[in-house]
A and B are shown apart, each in its own frame.
Chain A
């Protein structure tokens, strides 16, 4: 089965992202949104975790990046920027959605 893991909490404030990364399996995907988008920005400890998770696809919600003043250039290499419509498609494409609140 393939999961879409979704994280909406800052990796600096909550353990949600770290715990998600400890439980995600190859072939699954992680979508970062709301305050979770900070885990997709370069120069952070979270960026290192993203880089060292081969076989896991990463997405970040563009409107949440923009709202917080973070440009696309700041996003860690390999993380795909998506819109709300693509978020819905991703939820549909995976067997289930696992939320890390």
Chain B
């Protein structure tokens, strides 16, 4: 196929476990990753809670899907935009998030951070630059 590469952005605005949105978004991202597009994810509003580190669901009888976010880099999903204002409103900092990384094959597999902290205004522009936006 010689089709042009499009920019896909997935918006994650819901907390994990209370609803199925976060898990469904991950499923769709992983399926979409097979199509060689320019994929990025945005975590804002309650979506920032999806990537909080130390999740342990043994006590609520649900699958802990948080380790899956660490696998996104292997699917060439390396741009995870996290909105600063959303973290601040929730009393969180980037240190409360999982250290999500990807390996850059062009630089001898150097480990790089997938998380990119952006302001609300920057996120608005990132959304504006996309060809396709999926909302969860």
Contacts and interface: CB of A to CB of B under 8 A. Distances in A.
Interface in A29-58: 34-35, 38, 41-45, 47
A67 B64 contact: yes
Nearest to B45: A12
A66 B56 contact: yes
A38 B87 CA distance: 12
A53 B92 CA distance: 24
B45 A44 contact: no
Nearest to B90: A44
Interface residues of A, number: 24
A69 B56 contact: yes
Task: Specify the main secondary structure of chain B where it touches its partner.
Answer: loop
A69 B15 CA distance: 12
Contacts of B45: 12-13
Interface in A1-38: 8-10, 12-13, 34-35, 38
Nearest to B59: A63
B89 A12 contact: yes
Nearest to B87: A43
Contacts, number: 69
B60 interface: yes
A71 interface: yes
Interface of B: 14-19, 45-46, 49, 52-60, 62, 64, 66, 89-92, 96
Contact of A44 (B16, B18, B91): B91
B15 A38 contact: yes
Contacts of B60: 63-64, 67
A67 to B, nearest CB: 4
A38 B46 contact: yes
A35 B16 CA distance: 8
Given A13-B45, A63-B59, A68 B90 contact: no
B89 A68 contact: no
B46 A13 contact: yes
Contacts of A35: 15, 17-19, 46
A41 B91 contact: yes
Nearest to A45: B89
Of all A-B residue pairs in the complex, the 3 with the closest CB atoms, nearest first, are A43-B91, A63-B59, A35-B18
